[in-house]
Structure 1
Amino acid sequence: MPDSSRDTAEGAGWGATELGEYKRLMPHRAEKISWLSPKTLWAARNGVLASWFGDPTGHTRSRWVAQRAAAGAPADKVIRRDDPERFSFLVIGDTGEGDDSQYAAVPGFLKVGQDTRFAVLASDVIYPVGSADDYGTKFFRPYQDYQAPIYAIPGNHDWYEDLGAFMRVFCDDAPPLAPEPAPRPPSRAWLRWLLWHRPRRDDGQRLAEDRESRSNPVQQAVQPGPYWAIDAGPIRLIGLDTGLLGTIDAEQGAWLREVSKDPRPKILITGQPLYVDGEHHPCAIEGGGTVDEIVRDPAHRYVAAIGGDIHNYQRYPVQVDGRTVQYVVSGGGGAFMHATHTIPRVDVADVTEKEFRCYPLRGDSLAFYSRLYGRRLGMRRFFTLTEAQASAVIAERLDIRPGRAPASDARVTWRMRRVAGLLGAGRRPDRAKRFRLPVRKIYTQLFSPSSDTYSPPFFKSFLRLDVTPETVRLRCYAATGNRAQEADPPVEDEVLISLV
């Protein structure tokens, strides 16, 4: 078993290491998305408009579903496969940046997934706005050597152009929706329509050529729509489309309740997680109820709920009526890394630090961001913490054991405490809030997306799930961009889930 970040700093990708071979997979010129660019922010405005003037996602989704039904998609939206009782599949989330951070995860994904039956992309297949022109370098090229079908759940970025490109790629080349008449002015709906970002008319001219990268018959998959269920071996997977704002419409909610009645054990895969950063987000259903109420119902037999959107790995084993449901965040497949060191000491749904798992470790996250702020502010000598120093100060602030054995020189100093406080490391509920740089909220939402790095360690991750009639073995694999972790991807977390 190779060293992971829980074993050594080298296992986390720190130190003098050999660069992986992922660079040879990349196009000659890879796009580097700047989320501080006015052009990018303006193109990605639909999420803000939906929150201001009302969210049209549910209505648009219903039109897509109706179109697919008219084209012959199954009414129950269930994909029935011929998988054996023992099989494996992959889950990878938030992949589509098309730069080093995405491609660095590909060699390990291919190696670990050699014998898997299919893969699921959980959220944000394409950044920044889900354009069809981006699928060549951000989907078809990186996964051209994965010799199995890939299913997908859209994320909010895939919805920024009303899901048109996503439907073309994953849903049998679905034609564009017919335009609807403009709302009557003046109204909130009219203002939204007036400002709404729409795809270019010539978007996707190269799509047929791009498809050739994944044209092998064994790679093909057709989805009944943006949400679906897959009957695979002894389990049912349910993929849920949470749209622009992390909620689902009444029609999808009614479908979820119906497909959840199937007697098989179930795993939910959603665009946004139900537990994340030490908080519960049950996901509201239009008209009443929540997704998590359905997951928690013992009659529905859910054993896990996996969500993307947040770009790291987290796991919360929640006790529900005498059984354990594994709530997982799996969004580390290729975009910038969301900090884990800002997650407060975990105490939610009776899950404490003892049971909680995350990747990257909080100390590695703090070390990564200390280097980032040191460069951006021109204060490297003050801000930069070694991985050992960062781990030590995190352990002190949260009163937890270090993620790996502490180094002998990891004595906590005033400077280390000050840097950790400024960068939002953890929370101490017994002390008043002090000034800290805008890491947890503003930085995560605005500045983190522009902080993607182009050299290791990247702290990317993906999941492999091995299914038998009795159990599901879930493992989180790391991808750092270094050769050592490419050749033998380390396991950062593992749990055996009972299906009995």
Structure 2
Amino acid sequence: MVNSSRDTAEGAGWGGSERGAYQRLMPGEVEKISWLDPRMLWAARNGVLASWFGDPTGRTRGRWTAQQAAAGASADKVIRRPDPDRFSFMVIGDTGEGDDPQYAVVPGFLKVAQDTSFAVLASDVIYPVGSADDYDTKFFRPYRDYPAPIYAIPGNHDWYEDLGAFMRVFCGDAPPLPAEPKPRPLTRAWLRSLLWHRPRPGDGQRLEEARALRSAPGQQAVQPGPYWAIDAGPVRIVGIDTGLLGTVDAEQGAWLREVSSGPRPKILITGSPLYVDGEHHPCPIEGGGTVDEIVRDPAHHYVAAIGGDIHNYQRYPVRLADGRILQYVVAGGGGAFMHATHTIQRVDVGGVTESDFRCYPLRGDSLAFYSRLYGRRLRLPRFFTLTEAEATAVVAERLAIPPTRAPGGPVRLTRRIRLVASLLGAGRRPDRTARFRLPVRKIYTSLFSPSSATYSPPFFKCFLRLDVTPESVRLRCHAATGNRAQELHPPVEDEVVIPLN
């Protein structure tokens, strides 16, 4: 049995272990994404524009699906696979930054995925804006040795260029949408159109060359559009597209209700998790209702809802009024910069308490990771840096919970340790220093996290393997730290067996 982060600090990747062989897979030159670069911020402006001037995603998505239907895509958007009653598939979310953390996932992913039937990319296939020319090093190259098909649902970053590249790669080389009439002057739509980011001329010239990296017959798959369902063995996997702002348009909502009917057990894959960071986000549907209402309906037989977008792993086993347990999972740790888990307060949501909740990285490892980031960024390593044992102990104190991983020896919590934990928002417990907290979750995520991402282990990345039988689904979260030990034997950070009856 390989040690995980719940067992030892070495199992978490701390301790200067031998670096893995993932760098041999990487291209010679890697562009590092920095959201402090004004050019990057300007290119990724469409999400802000959509929130200011109205979100055009639903209309554009409708045009894409209409064009696909006219080209012969199945009307019900269901992919019917020949998988047996017992099969396995992979889920990996928020992958495409194309740097060390993404490639560090690949060796372990390939090892665990050897006998799986297919994989699903859950949200944000390509950063920063979903450009076609980025698919070479951020999709085709890292997964060229995965022998089975890969399906995908887009995230908000894939929508920053109106989803054109995503549709070309995953939906049968879909041609560009025809130009629309210009909006009436001086309207909100007109202002939005003036500022809207669009693909640069000539984008995608290297796409055909990149496709050669995944050109084997067994690797090919064509999906009907940005949202779809897969009938595989005894289950139906339903993938929905939540666009730029984490919502579902009316047309997709009607399809979701229709495709969710029937007794077949179902698993939702979504770009926006329904439970995350100790909060419930049911995901509104244009015209009324929410995605979670559909998922909870006993007539629809959902057993799990897996979402990307947030770059870590979380699991909430929610017991519904009729006694069923729905597993709500966050699975966005596939390669992009790490979102903190140490800022998650003591969990008490949807009937899920702290003893039921699981996350990766563990909160103590997250705090230790961010203390090192701030120590380097502010050039105060002696003040900010916490050992993993110190971080684990202070998180346990602030949340009033037992340490998830027992420290190697006694830890004395000093005023400095408590101050650093408070400044970095550990547990979010109010205290006198709360007004001086440094940005970790929202502002830091938007601006500093990507540019401060470490390029040496441990990375705290993860991916899922789901083993399906007629009776159950076994879901396992595997870790990828960037160290050789975890490449050879990817540790299981969480495991749950989900009954299908």
Tell me if both proteins adopt one fold, taking TM over 0.5 as the criterion: yes
Q: Which residue of 2 aligns with 1:233?
A: 233
- Which residues in structure 2 correspond to 1:84-123 (within 5 Å)? 84-123=84-123
Aligned to 1:480: 481
Q: Could you say if the C-alpha distance between residues 234 and 39 of structure 1 is closer, same or farther in structure 2, counting changes exceeding 3 Å?
A: same
Distance in 2 (alpha carbons) for counterparts of 1:284 and 1:449: 29
Q: Give the 3-state SS of the residue equivalent to 1:166 in structure 2.
A: helix
Aligned AA for 2:89? Answer: F
SS at match of 2:427: coil
Q: Give the equivalent residue in structure 1 for 2:350.
A: 349
Matches of 1:415 and 1:377, distance apart in 2: 16
CA RMSD between the two structures:
1.0
Aligned to 1:141: 141
Corresponding residue of 2:389 = 388
Matched residue type, 1:147: P
- The answer for the alignment partner of 2:127 in structure 1 is 127
Partner of 1:64: 64
SS in 2 for 1:89: strand
The match for 1:221 is 221
* Aligned residue number for residue 42 of structure 1: 42
1:308 partnered with 2:286? no
The structural deviation recorded for 1:431 is 8.3
Deviation at 1:449, TM superposition (A): 2.5
SS at match of 1:161: coil
Counterpart residue identity of residue 5, structure 1: S
How does 1:272-351 map onto structure 2 within 5 Å?
272-320=272-320, 321-351=322-352
Alpha-carbon deviation of 1:229? Answer: 0.1
| Whole-Å separation in 2 of the counterparts to 1:412 and 1:134 | 46
- Give the fraction of aligned pairs with identical amino acids, expressed as a percent: 81
1:298-356 CA deviation, whole Å, 9 max, x = no partner?
01000000000000000000011200000000000000000000111111011011000
Seen in structure 2, the aligned counterparts of structure 1 residues 474 and 431 have a Cα distance that, compared at 3 Å, is farther
Partner of 1:262: 262
Consecutive unaligned residues in structure 2, runs of 5 or more: none
Per-residue CA deviations over 1:51-105 (Å, capped at 9, x if unaligned) read 0000000000000000000000000000000000000000000000000000000
SS of 2:204's equivalent? coil
1:408 Cα offset (Å): 1.4
Native 8 Å contact 2:90 2:118 kept in 1: yes
- Aligned equivalents of 2:433, 2:17: Cα separation in 1: 42
Q: Which residue of 2 aligns with 1:421?
A: 422
Q: Secondary structure at the match of 1:309?
A: coil
Q: What is the deviation of 1:429?
A: 6.2
* Partner in structure 1 of residue 201 of structure 2: 201
Letter in 2 for 1:76: D
**In the alignment, what sits opposite 2:170?**
170
Residue 495 of structure 1 aligns to a residue whose secondary structure is strand
Q: Distance in 2 between matches of 1:477 and 1:201?
A: 40
Over 2 Å off, 4+ runs: 427-435
AA of the residue aligned to 2:473: V
SS for the counterpart of 1:314 is strand
Structure 1 Cα separation of the partners of residues 303 and 101 of structure 2:
31
Shift of 1:386: 0.2
Cα distance in 2 for partners of 1:307, 1:301 equals 18
Please report how far the alpha carbon of residue 409 of structure 1 lies from its aligned counterpart in structure 2 after TM superposition. Answer: 3.4
Q: Residues of 2 paired with 1:356 and 1:429: CA distance?
A: 22
SS at match of 2:437: coil
CA deviation vs aligned residue, 1:230-256 (integer Å, no higher than 9, x gap): 000000000000000000100000000
Partners of 1:444 and 1:146 in 2: CA distance: 31
Shift of the 3–217 alpha-carbon distance from structure 1 to 2, 3 Å rule, reads same
Partner amino acid, structure 2, of 1:183: P
* Higher alpha-carbon deviation: 457-466 or 420-429: 420-429
Indicate conservation of the 8 Å contact 2:162/2:198, yes or no. yes
Instruction: Name stretches of at least 5 consecutive residues in structure 1 with no aligned partner.
Output: none
AA aligned opposite 1:112:
V
Structure 2 counterpart of 1:178, one-letter code: P
SS of equivalent to 1:134: helix
Q: What does residue 441 of structure 1 align with? A: 442
- SS at the partner of 1:4? coil
What SS does the aligned partner of 1:105 have?
helix
Q: Secondary structure at the match of 2:345?
A: coil
Looking at structure 2, the residues matched to 220 and 3 of structure 1 have their Cα atoms a distance apart, in angstroms, of 36
Q: Distance in 1 between matches of 2:318 and 2:287?
A: 26
The aligned amino acid for 2:497 is L
- Normalised by the length of structure 2, the TM-score is 0.99
Contact (CA 8 Å) 2:422, 2:433: kept in 1 or not?
A: no
Q: Distance in 1 between matches of 2:84 and 2:405?
A: 39
Q: Deviation digits for residues 210-268 of structure 1, max 9, x if unmatched?
A: 00000000000000000000000000000000000000100000000000003200000
Q: Secondary structure at the match of 1:315?
A: strand
Deviation at 1:434, TM superposition (A): 4.3
Q: Are the aligned partners of 2:423 and 2:434 in contact in 1 as well (CA < 8 Å)?
A: no
Query: C-alpha displacement at 1:138, in angstroms?
Result: 0.3
- Is residue 33 of structure 1 aligned with residue 41 of structure 2? no
> SS of the residue aligned with 1:465?
strand
**What letter matches 1:13 in structure 2?**
G
Q: Give the secondary-structure state (helix, strand or coil) at the position aligned to 1:104.
A: helix
Matched, 1:397 2:398: yes
Number of the residue aligned with 1:15: 15
Give the C-alpha shift of residue 430 in structure 1: 8.9
Moved more, 431-440 or 40-49: 431-440
Give the letter for the 1:139 counterpart.
Answer: F
Distance in 1 between residues matched to 2:446 and 2:41, nearest whole Å: 12
The one-letter code matched in structure 1 to 2:442 is K
**Distance in 1 between residues matched to 2:291 and 2:246, nearest whole Å:** 11
- 1:432 shift after superposition: 9.2
Q: CA deviation at 1:433?
A: 4.4
Alpha-carbon offset, residue 407 of structure 1: 2.6
Identify the residue that residue 182 of structure 2 maps to in structure 1.
182
Please state whether the residue corresponding to 1:402 is helix, strand or coil.
coil
Offset of residue 182 of structure 1: 1.2
Once residues 430 and 100 of structure 1 are traced to their aligned partners in structure 2, the CA distance between those partners, rounded to angstroms, is 37
Inter-partner Cα distance in structure 2 for 1:444 and 1:278? 17
Partner SS, residue 426 of structure 1: helix
**What is the distance in 2 between the residues matched to 1:181 and 1:79?**
34
SS of residue paired to 1:210: helix
Give the conservation status (yes or no) of the 8 Å contact 2:423–2:433: no
Moved more, 101-110 or 433-442: 433-442
